[in-house]
Chains A and B, each alone.
Chain A
C-alpha cells in the first residue's frame, strides 16, 4: 500500500542550526502539507503546497521556515535557525485531489533542539 515516507525519524540539533526534514509523498498525490505536534498538544497545521507554490500557511510558519519540492518526489521543510520551542514531531501529509479530502500522514520526524 502506498505510504508517505519521512526521514530522518529523529533529529537532534543545536539551537541556531539549520535542519531539513524530508518527505516522499504518495506518488500520484497533488497536495502536500506539513503539520507539527508539540508533545501533549494537538496536531497543528504549518503549510500547504500545491502546484509548486505555497497555498496557505499558518502564523507558526514564519520567515525561519521554508518548503521546497526540489524534484518530482521529495518535499522538504527547512528550519533556518532552530529554537528550543521548535522541538516537536513534524508530520508530512499528502492528498490526491480537491475532491478527495483524505489526507495521509507519514510517521513523522521527531525534532529535538538542544
Chain B
C-alpha cells in the first residue's frame, strides 16, 4: 500500500461548483496535514495546514482531517477558473526535520 494515495483526476467542474479533493494515507505517525496548489512547472504553494484531526476554514477553502479513517479532504466553495491547478496533499510526522510525503496531486479545471 502506498504511503499517501490521491486520485490524480483530472477533475473538471463548472464555475461556482463545490469541489471535493481527497487523500488517504497509511502511516499513523502523520500528524501534520497540508494542501498545496501547484501550477504547471511552478513550486507548490501552501494553501492549508492542519495539525491532527479536525476542520480548518480559510475563505472558500475548508480542510478536514479524519485520523481514525486516515482520510483528509479539501473543499473549495464557489470555485473559480483561477482555482484551476493541481492540488497536492502532503503530510508529515512530529519533529522539525520531518520530511513531507506527498500525494500525486489532483488536476482540477474550473470551466467558466
Number of interface residues of B (CB under 8 A): 27
CA distance A99 to B98 in the complex (A): 11
Selected from B31, B46, B103, B104, the residue in CB contact (under 8 A) with A103 is B46
Selected from B32, B43, B44, B103, the residue in CB contact (under 8 A) with A101 is B32
Report whether over half of chain A's contact residues are helix, strand or loop; otherwise say mixed.
Answer: strand
Please indicate the chain B residues that have their CB under 8 angstroms from the CB of A44 in the complex. 102
Please indicate the chain B residues that have their CB under 8 angstroms from the CB of A43 in the complex. 44, 88, 90, 100, 102
A contact set with B: CB distance below 8 Å: 4, 6, 30-31, 33, 35, 41-45, 48, 50, 55-56, 58, 89, 91, 93, 95, 97-99, 101-108, 110
CA distance A101 to B98 in the complex (A): 8
Smallest CB gap from A92: residue in B: B43
Q: List 19 A-B pairs, Cβ < 8 Å.
A: A6-B43, A48-B99, A50-B96, A50-B97, A56-B97, A56-B99, A91-B43, A98-B97, A101-B34, A101-B49, A101-B51, A103-B34, A103-B46, A103-B90, A105-B36, A105-B45, A105-B46, A107-B42, A108-B41
The 5 tightest CB contacts between A and B, nearest first, are A98-B96, A101-B32, A55-B97, A45-B99, A105-B43
CA distance A20 to B98 in the complex (A): 24
Contact present for A102 and B43 (CB under 8 Å): no
Please indicate the chain B residues that have their CB under 8 angstroms from the CB of A42 in the complex. 88, 102-105
CA distance A30 to B96 in the complex (A): 9
Smallest CB gap from B2: residue in A: A42
Smallest CB gap from A104: residue in B: B46
User: What's the minimum C-beta distance from A5 to chain B, rounded to whole angstroms?
Assistant: 11
Within 8 A of A (CB), among B54-112: 88, 90, 92, 94-105
Please indicate the chain A residues that have their CB under 8 angstroms from the CB of B95 in the complex. 98
Please indicate the chain A residues that have their CB under 8 angstroms from the CB of B88 in the complex. 42-43
User: What's the minimum C-beta distance from A3 to chain B, rounded to whole angstroms?
Assistant: 9
Smallest CB gap from A97: residue in B: B96
